[in-house]
Amino acid sequence: MLARLCCWLLTLFAMFTSLALAPAARAEDGYQAWLRYAHLQGTALQDASAHATALIVMDKGPSAKAAQAELQRGFAGMMGKPLPLATALRDGAIVLATPGASPRPLPASPADLGDEGYAIRTVTMAGKTVTLITANHEIGLLYGAFDLLRLAATGADLAHLDQRSTPKLKLRLLNHWDNLDGTVERGYAGFSIWDWWHLPDWKDPRYSDYARLNASIGINGTVLNNVNAKADSLTAPYIAKAAALASVLRPYGIKVYLSAKWSAPIEIGHLKDADPLDPQVAAWWAAKANEIYAAIPDFGGFLVKANSEGQPGPQDYHRTHADGANMLAAALKPHGGVVIWRAFVYAAGAQKDPRLDDRAKQAYDDFKPLDGQFADNVMVQVKNGAIDFQPREPFHPLFGAMPKTPLMMEFQITKEYLGQSTHLTYLGPLFEETLRSDTMVNGPGSTVAKVIEGKLDNHKLTGMAGIANIGTDRNWSGSTFNQADWYAYGRFAWNPESSAQTVAREWADQTFTTDPRVVAPIVSMMMGSREAAVDYMTPLGLAHLMGTGHHYGPAPWVSDLGRPEWNPAYYHKADAQGIGFDRTMSGSEAIAQYAPPVAKALSSLATTPEREWLWFHHVGWDQKMASGETLWDAMVHHYDHGVAYVAAMQTTWNSLRPSIDQQRFDQTQTYLAIQHREAQWWRDASIAYFQSISKRPLPAGSAAPEHRLDWYKALTFPYAPGRG
């Protein structure tokens, strides 16, 4: 194993250090992210100049004007000269038109573009060869404009365009965990970009750039405030502030939503309770909806976290989640609004049967019986896995289990459990892995992507949510490579069947350069980075071993907190015989929440993927793996591989120094050094702890931890960031 690892590292080193690299890039601070519109070179510049000679916009709406501004900005940057507006057709012109706004006949447009789709084609109009962007509505023109700019920036052939695109999901939202005091829960990129104190008067120009970045990847909604909400968010002053933000975001097709605190009728409405079946409570919410829509006519709706982690909810009154969601849905329905009800329920109280105690089962147990009871403007928002955004989790068993209820995927873009602000752990492979997982509910091919797209059960209301990683840092996301996670989320929300590698290449082309000598090693580095983090943090199906509270660094030894499921030891259950959480029918029976073919496969080690062994099984330390190694030896080798991969990323990045601007190069280099140090810490602390239980020697060639176990246990981090 060690010989193979060394060979792999030497090959990687030789390949990347032998590159003949492009000239150094201009200085940048990351603010423009993937919308840099860097000056094109050579044939790419000639191609763009020949096919962007003028701009003709046949729609005068605000989104069409935003498309016009973006195309002029983008091509001016890429060509080094202005893109003039015109009225008469000329060869090479870019023409934007919606059917109702066009005064002249247009070539037939694809019939199924829907409300947000677009087509980009090279066509002949009045004897002139032009690039035509058509859409049924002006927001489609904006999305098409961004796609044309993406094509130009990534070196595509602009001479023979014939493509169309429509989003596969209706709601594509960012969930901001931003607080009214400016802090961000689980935020690692500075403070909230929403300047609540100075709104609604001061509209920071940054808001428009935020809107541009989101529209460029198809995001069409943003939840402004934390799901751990304050009732003040629903008072008149804060509604006015939200309305000011809505006015900035609206031209870019982005609706605003608010997280609603369940107890708001008590806290700001002075009612005696918040019982959803109390007519006074329902009337209060209806009046509040009327007030919001008077200020924000296109308000999207409410996101609700209820009866979870101490938040109030309908269960406080012995009502169901459906009772609560439907009451809010009735208040919003006259205005076309939706309720997004989170399925992350993590309530107080022990399980009735300690033998079956398993936090992973609670959401399914709470929501599966309610299937078919939700109003038609309610979506249930389900995390990708059943615990909490771990480096790897099997897909959530609710996907496919509620055919009568539209389910909305919830991913975390901010990396609470994946290295926080500094680790380079590209999330595209995590998104792809989850979305391509097969629920088997309707036989093979019943993927999670098809569940959330509504294809399996003919749902019209569909969506995806991502917990935003955006803050006041100049580069938006804390690091250049964290921007890739934001970008990838948007692309997967537009099309859940996307390819993580294709998206990574697309992002790198726009963020750095289209030179394949630079892009290829960057994409290769990105594609293995999340798996490396799994290896040095939670290999083979381990989960939730992070320090409690701040979730920073390893703490698998913690076992003395007030509730069992607060403790990392609860999740790994290591003892003298083995390690892992038994979720088979001899354990917590969690596998029974999956469709029978999936449950059958997970019931046996032989048919459970090794990467998920310790999630579903308690496995003996000496159990043989497919490689012939024992489980213990394989665990150690996974830890070693994770650390080695980060070292290889450092080598790769250092070889790219001549081709990356100094500021972005230096920050990434520094962060990779932090990641390598912390990966080593994860590896050493975890091995020291688990070896104290397994009593097995380390495999040949694996180094002993740098310190004794007590040294790692003594580390404390009272001021770790991201706690909000």
For residue 542, which amino acid is it?
A: L
Listing DSSP states for 538-560 in one string gives: SGGG----BPTTT--SB-TT---
Active site residue 388: yes
* C-alpha pair distances (Å), 646 with each of 148, 466, 485, 674: 35, 26, 18, 10
Q: With CA atoms as reference, report the closest residue to 321 among 335, 339, 338.
A: 339
How far is the C-alpha of 194 from the C-alpha of 187, rounded, in Å? 13
Both tokens assigned to 9? 């590292």
Do residues 113 and 166 lie in contact, with contact meaning Cβ atoms separated by under 8 Å?
yes
Residue 522: name the closest of 624, 668, 635, 394 by CA.
668
Joined tokens for residue 150: 């993406």
416 is catalytic: yes
Q: Which own/partner pairs from 106-112 qualify as long-range (CB within 8 Å, at least 24 positions apart)?
A: 106/132, 106/134, 107/132, 109/134, 110/164, 112/166
Residue 604 vs residues 381, 583, 586, 614: alpha-carbon distances, Å: 30, 11, 11, 12
The burial of 604, by beta-carbon neighbours within 10 Å (0-12 exposed, 13-18 middle, 19 or more buried), is given as exposed
Alpha carbon distance 374, 366 (integer Å): 13
Q: Of the residues 91, 157, 181, 309, which is catalytic?
A: 309
SS3 610: helix
Count Cβ atoms below 10 Å from residue 682 Cβ, excluding itself.
25
* Cα–Cα distances in angstroms (integers) from residue 622 to residues 227, 625, 695, in the given order: 44, 9, 11
Instruction: From the candidates 416, 473, 509, 633, give the one annotated as an active-site residue.
Output: 416
What single string gives the DSSP state of each residue in 49-62? Answer: HHT-S-EEE---SH
Name the pairing type of β-strands 118-125 and 94-97.
Answer: unpaired
Helix and strand counts by DSSP (H, E) for the chain: 21, 15
Strand order in the sheet with 118-125: 55-57, 94-97, 128-134, 118-125, 162-165
Bond into 406 cis (ω within 30): no
* Catalytic residue flag (residue 309): yes
Whole-Å CA distances, 255 to 165, 184, 224, 461? 21, 21, 10, 16
Catalytic residue (choose from 28, 147, 388, 531): 388
The string of DSSP letters for 464-497 reads: EEEE----SSTTSSSSHHHHHHHHHHHHHHH-TT
Q: What residues act catalytically?
A: 309, 388, 416
